[in-house]
Structure 1
Amino acid sequence: MTPPPARRRRGSSAPERSYPRRGSVRRAQMITTYGVGSLIAVENESFIVAGTDSWNIEEAPVIQEPRLARVLGVRSFRLPPASDDTSKDGVRVRRFPLWHSCPSCGSLQHVRGFNSPPGKNECGDCQEDLVPSRFVMACAHGHIDDFPYWRWAHRGNREEGATGHCGGEMRLRTSGRTASLRSIVISCTCGIPEVSMEGAFRRTALAGLAVRCAGKRPWLKEAPTEFCSEQPRTLQRGSSAAWLPIVKSALSIPVPPGNDGLADRLAPYRDDLRSLDRSEIPLYLKIQTMRDGVELPADAVLALLDAEQNDGVEGGQGADSEEAYRALRNQEYAHLRSGNTEGEGNQQEQFVCEPPATQSADLAHLGLTGPMLVKRLREVRALKAFSRVEAPDTNAEVHEARLSLADLDWLPAMEVQGEGVFLRVDAERIDSWARNTAVAARVERMRSNHQRQLRERASDPAAAPESPATPRFVLLHTLAHALINEWSLDGGYPAAALRERLYSGETMAGLLIYTATSDSAGSLGGVVAQGEPERLATTLRSALHRAGWCSADPLCIESEAGGAGSVNLGACHACVLLPETSCELNNGLLDRALLVGTPEDPSIGFFRDALAH
């Protein structure tokens, strides 16, 4: 990563120059951990990752996933650019926060006030490395700014009607008596009493100082400040709430079936194809085939283009909607059900899904049907935007902070290869079970809590999205968590390496558990082996028996509400909760009582009959 060029010092005729590279992260982390707008610590310095319109993308590989691109209103995706030790391009960063302190003299001020030597971040008087502010303030609209230390230290110590600063110099020291905020003390040479940072994280702490959000976007070069009515909150610089990625993903499936690999070969020509009439395409393809030596059969290409246009996924700007994402899931569900057998000697297929060679009556007795072994899959994960303070839960309305000031036709993304197992639950059995009054009552309690949370976070409570909580959805979600926990014990994969993908709706009742990583962990066959019917039946029984008792019982199973926003019931870290990277809903809408029942009422468990045998 490369900071912007240093500013020329006053009175100096030295030319501007670029700083050397100040650290490195993996490309995948630029999507999930250190994306645009996030704060990154490099040794004793802190930076904010600059917007995508400042990236040098000449060497950034293009990633094609037409279905996801149409949903997000872009033409393509790109891997974040890589750079070596001698290059000065790649992903840009900017220094943030700008308030620093000196560990020697205790001075607390803007970084420009320390008179640091060129290219160094140290106190000009003490020659000690400066310490970036541990605290920042941010709002739910994505704006971020330095913490208002002066106002915090001088609160209640100004005469009424007084304006301007006191003219004193601020100091920060740590008493070392405790690890709490009370030990961080701020003083000023103007003579005010020392003030600790205790209470700075209260929701109304900054509102009490009349501090308003200034609408600053330091990750975007020359971005004008925006009007913002949100109340900022104090955050730790390294807090996960300071940057929350909004990532959208899709599985690469062949549309139409049998044309797997053609979409990739067609990628360099898609811009030209969009500008051509249908009658002009065959001649264009013939010319490109002769020039580049790549196989582009006109009939197959036309069929592919027709299938993409008629697949129910609307494209264009503003197409990002729940309906478009549902169309993506519907397509994936249909292909996972029908499968896609690996072609003879074709090692370039990105989606291989086959039924197991054997069947198991025991699996059908458990209520599972049509297991499929996904021997090869490709997933594209695109960073669409990010939020701060409020997590972008599924179906929750959050403000999406922009990745760039200018409108670009691409988004940063990563592609991962993996494998998995697709399972379907008997839909008729689910419908019959969901009519149980006690089942409906438990799910309604979760749904109402989640709906209240959605209304509180919506800009217009009357237009808040509907909660996805239904008996079918909660059952599939909890079952996926129970299986992931069991496979992490039996298959040797850490739970964080496994992911869930849920397919719930009027016509869908399935789940995909898969591993998709950028290293070899996604191609060793360990997950596929878990999908063989006999082994799967044994594993499922073990997972259900394990879910029947939690070390936190009876508190866990008898809980009236749990999780963030009280959207869970019988679920805790000792039973079905997972690492958040594995879950699509941040560990929300879970209840293991719907799997195995409760001691008082076993009938609410979907698998109660299976466990009795």
Structure 2
Amino acid sequence: MTPPPARRRRTATSGAAPARNLPRRGTVRRAQAITTYGVGSLIAVDHESFVVSGLDAADQHWNADESPRIHERRLARLLDVQHFRLPPASDDSSKDGVRVRRFPLIHSCPECNELRLHRDFNSPAGKSVCGTCEADLVPSRFVIACEAGHLDEFPYWHWVHRTTGAGGSTAGKCGGTLRMRSTGRSSSLRSILVSCTCGVPEVSMEGSFRKSALKDLGLRCRGTRPWLGTSEPAQSCGLAARTLQRGSSAVWQPVLKSALSIPPWSDGRADPLAEYWDELRQLSSRAEVAMCLKFAFKGESPVSVDEVMTLLAAEREEDPTGDETPTFDHRYRALRNKEYERLRSGNDERERSRDEQFICETPLGDPAVLAPLGVTGPMLVKKLREVRALKAFTRLADPDSTTNAHEAALSTSRLTWLPAMEVRGEGVFLRLDDDRLASWERATAVAARVERMRTAHQSVIEQRAAEPAHAQPSPASPRMVLLHTIAHILINEWSLEAGYPAASLRERLYAGDDMAGVLVYTATSDSAGSLGGLVAQGEPDRLDRAIRSAVLRAAWCSSDPLCVESEASGTSGTNLAACHACVMLPETSCEHNNILLDRALLVGTPEDPAIGFFRDLLVH
């Protein structure tokens, strides 16, 4: 039989295929496409629900003008990509943007109470209504997920037929139609009833959120990844799945990594080399580098050989030392170490070009006024650029409590880029005096207090990790908790005295054996990030007044004495003397999700004031 002739594709007047004009379902800000509604997350638009699609075809359908490339070599090297791209910014003339897929597919009709796949309701094109009742369909409130990042529909058929002993192979074979209704007596799961017209008893959703609820039904995760368009699992998973509410924060948690642009990378001169660093890293001599540049750019290179040699030397300085194969954490720590060194040393006018994106200067005032506080080395970061990239995402567990093996991928194939956003602003950097800090850390009461927090945090990490033996260690230490709490009280102080919203400021902690610094900087890309008001707070006289005022505020909380005498607070006891009335911040401002905080380490407790690092400020 002769096959039919191939169908000719319609073309536009220019002969090219017409651009797809996909229906718009809503809008989100660029930052939300990284932090809230990134790849794999669920997003509600009016009465519909969608999952944000993967990035496999995004390089083609994201418009280059609306989704430009951005470069940050240090972060790109850490994440093993060539460059980053801003999520597309759409306007009325845009043809495409961030794509979504309908999920969950199971919907219910509030009029006839039928519970079935969306396509089975025979909705008119472009609408999500019941074909019979013409009522707006309601997406399933419940989904299931596993710690490997897979996402699936809630197994309503198995749930309602669980008393019949029916196996997974007979799902949907009873011939009946599922129905869902609410008694309206309460907002609990007991009021949500599911039935089947085959005659099995009606059951409620009570108990569906138990950790072993799906395991008791003989169900395991199937490994489905709807954000990648895979209706069938790419591979068997077999992990225990958990029931979640569709809007729960546990459904999607971003894995974000960030870096500051610091010299010699911060003037943009290295950006044209983004695609060639793997080859350049293998070369050692000037002649080899010159030949590589001539071949790559088919002539004169936009970057001189001397500049490339300087960049290669700077990159090798960030290579982790030691005989063992460096892990991702080791390389990320090396990245932070180099930032700390640059923030300490700053850069004077001789090091700057017109395009310099990092300007860090010593204040004009005398830093000696800060010596009684145990604070040293203030620096005015008059200009900075931070790039935050979406590396992956997790489900059920926080990114801090998982290993890379449980980070869900953003695409089916390896990408040479990742979605990211950039923030330009200003900040204030300060350090703690090494001798005073070391003396304070040696105090037995200080170590014992922090050990309680570290133990609680480690327990949370191990409980949430699929393999507790491979869980990451808690970063809690006296130095880290102290720096973290100082950053919080300074942000609160400057939000009151300098007119900054607390959510527009962000902390960046440098805590380690040879680091003890805090950078507080503007965390938004709007006008609050470039007014110069934050830099002015870093002058020694103002900083002295700000720290003294912040410590005095921290000495008293409206929830005292319950707050300061608390034996455990926060998530599973990961805080001590810390609450929303004293030191907690908006989550966008905190690197550690408002855990590992204790203002008693700043001001002491009524029983033991000596544990406070700033205890001398409170002596009258």
When normalised by structure 2's length, the TM-score is: 0.88
In 1: Cα distance, 2:500 partner to 2:591 partner = 19
Sequence identity (%): 63
Q: What secondary structure, in the 3-state scheme, does the structure 1 residue paired with 2:228 have?
A: coil
In 2: Cα distance, 1:92 partner to 1:28 partner = 16
In 2: Cα distance, 1:90 partner to 1:320 partner = 35
1:209 lines up with 2:212 in the alignment: no
1:332 aligns to what? Answer: 339
Task: State the one-letter code of the partner of 1:306.
Answer: A
1:498 aligns to what? Answer: 505
Q: CA RMSD in A?
A: 2.9
Match for residue 173 of structure 1 among 176, 181, 188: 181
1:364 aligns to what? Answer: 371
1:231 aligns to what? Answer: 240
Matched-pair contact (CA < 8 Å) for 1:392–1:398: no
Matched-pair contact (CA < 8 Å) for 2:87–2:420: yes
By how many angstroms is 1:281 displaced? Answer: 4.0
Q: What secondary structure, in the 3-state scheme, does the structure 2 residue paired with 1:125 have?
A: coil
In 2: Cα distance, 1:321 partner to 1:344 partner = 31
Task: State the one-letter code of the partner of 1:553.
Answer: D
1:300 aligns to what? Answer: 307
Larger mean Cα displacement after TM superposition, 402-411 or 52-61 = 52-61
1:116 aligns to what? Answer: 123
Larger mean Cα displacement after TM superposition, 54-63 or 478-487 = 54-63
2:257 aligns to what? Answer: 248
Larger mean Cα displacement after TM superposition, 301-310 or 40-49 = 301-310
In 1: Cα distance, 2:351 partner to 2:242 partner = 59
Residues 506-548 of structure 1: CA deviation (Å, up to 9, x unaligned): 1111010111322222111121122121111111111111111
By how many angstroms is 1:330 displaced? Answer: 0.6
In 2: Cα distance, 1:509 partner to 1:394 partner = 24
In 2: Cα distance, 1:463 partner to 1:268 partner = 35
Distance change >3 Å, CA 423–CA 607, structure 1 → 2: same
By how many angstroms is 1:43 displaced? Answer: 2.0
Q: What secondary structure, in the 3-state scheme, does the structure 2 residue paired with 1:150 have?
A: helix
1:520 lines up with 2:527 in the alignment: yes
In 2: Cα distance, 1:169 partner to 1:337 partner = 68
In 1: Cα distance, 2:169 partner to 2:49 partner = 35
Residues 50-74 of structure 1: CA deviation (Å, up to 9, x unaligned): 1111212451311111111111111
2:424 aligns to what? Answer: 417
By how many angstroms is 1:415 displaced? Answer: 1.1
In 1: Cα distance, 2:553 partner to 2:207 partner = 42
When normalised by structure 1's length, the TM-score is: 0.89
Task: Say how many residue pairs are matched.
Answer: 592
Q: What secondary structure, in the 3-state scheme, does the structure 2 residue paired with 1:48 have?
A: strand
By how many angstroms is 1:285 displaced? Answer: 6.0
In 2: Cα distance, 1:384 partner to 1:159 partner = 41
Residues 89-118 of structure 1: CA deviation (Å, up to 9, x unaligned): 332211100000112211111112112223
By how many angstroms is 1:29 displaced? Answer: 1.4
By how many angstroms is 1:393 displaced? Answer: 2.3
1:476 aligns to what? Answer: 483
1:107 lines up with 2:114 in the alignment: yes
Task: State the one-letter code of the partner of 2:552.
Answer: H
In 1: Cα distance, 2:312 partner to 2:498 partner = 41
Matched-pair contact (CA < 8 Å) for 1:398–1:457: no
After superposition, residues 52-451 of structure 1 pair within 5 angstroms as 52-55=55-58, 56-57=61-62, 59=64, 60-85=67-92, 87-156=94-163, 164=171, 165-222=173-230, 224-255=233-264, 260-264=267-271, 266-267=273-274, 278-282=286-290, 296-312=303-319, 321-342=328-349, 346-393=353-400, 399-451=406-458
Q: What secondary structure, in the 3-state scheme, does the structure 2 residue paired with 1:393 have?
A: helix
Larger mean Cα displacement after TM superposition, 245-254 or 518-527 = 518-527
2:31 aligns to what? Answer: 28
Distance change >3 Å, CA 190–CA 512, structure 1 → 2: same
Residues 172-223 of structure 1: CA deviation (Å, up to 9, x unaligned): 2233333333332223223334333233223233233333211111111347
By how many angstroms is 1:468 displaced? Answer: 1.8
In 2: Cα distance, 1:162 partner to 1:210 partner = 11
Query: Please, which runs of 5 or more residues in structure 2 have no aligned partner?
Result: 1-18
Task: State the one-letter code of the partner of 1:194.
Answer: E
Q: What secondary structure, in the 3-state scheme, does the structure 2 residue paired with 1:512 have?
A: strand
Task: State the one-letter code of the partner of 2:599.
Answer: R
Q: What secondary structure, in the 3-state scheme, does the structure 1 residue paired with 2:104 have?
A: coil
By how many angstroms is 1:392 displaced? Answer: 1.1
Matched-pair contact (CA < 8 Å) for 2:340–2:515: yes
In 2: Cα distance, 1:224 partner to 1:209 partner = 20
By how many angstroms is 1:344 displaced? Answer: 9.6
1:532 lines up with 2:532 in the alignment: no
Matched-pair contact (CA < 8 Å) for 1:136–1:237: yes
Matched-pair contact (CA < 8 Å) for 1:390–1:398: no
Task: State the one-letter code of the partner of 2:397.
Answer: E
By how many angstroms is 1:162 displaced? Answer: 11
Matched-pair contact (CA < 8 Å) for 1:476–1:511: yes
In 1: Cα distance, 2:274 partner to 2:165 partner = 64
Matched-pair contact (CA < 8 Å) for 1:214–1:225: no
